[in-house]
Amino acid sequence: MAAIYGTGEKRVIVFGGIHGNESDSSIVAKALMGSLMQEAVPEELTVIVVPDANPDGLFANTRVNARGVDINRNFPSTSWRSEYRYNNQFPGIEPASEPETKAIINLLEKSPPDYIITLHAALGCVNWDGPGEQLARVIANVNGYPLCSYLGYETPGSLGTLMGVDKKLPFVTIELRNSRAVELVQENLPALRAVLSYMASSK
């Protein structure tokens, strides 16, 4: 399910719940949806929010989808490789083999974004791919998380490598802290609103 807010020329897509055992990412995405319904969206923006990108995984509380594939290792980036199966991160038998991956790619093709934000958990930092560092800094200045240009491990076949590294799109990932959902919303909803305002004002 994708919810659309605003009608501006600049398009932002926000993803939560890509990993089903990171339900806090879905909760924060839904909090953003509530905020966008109650407060004005910057007129320059169209914001698309996908809070439950891996619904079967969220239902089962598993990182992977119903077929045991890590959606965030299944995207057709130049880095995708079939042998990467470390720590419950099976990438699928081929790139974009999964219905969830295909649905996200279809959205990206039908509604090409200018910016992408993903929500994950629970490393407690702000990461970026491609030309997304300034977006990461805007978010970190508000939520207080440290910046992390490298997560400490490779992410072949991730959405960030496909859209940030390969396609050079500003791409930022908020890695939520390991904390109560209410605290994560309090920290990150203002940060998300701040980065949306920054995107609206940037040229």
Distance of CA 117 to the CA centre of its chain: 4
pLDDT at 13 over 70: yes
Domains contained in the chain, CATH given: 1-121 (3.40.630.10)
pLDDT at 14 over 70: yes
Question: pTM for the full model?
Answer: 0.96
Asked whether the beta carbons of 28 and 16 are under 8 A apart, the reply is: yes
Is residue 88 left, alpha or beta, with left meaning phi > 0 and alpha meaning psi from -120 to 50? left
pLDDT at 123: 96
- 3-state DSSP call for residue 9? coil
Asked whether the beta carbons of 15 and 171 are under 8 A apart, the reply is: no
**38-74 pLDDT, tens per residue?**
998 999 999 999 999 999 999 999 999 999 999 999 9
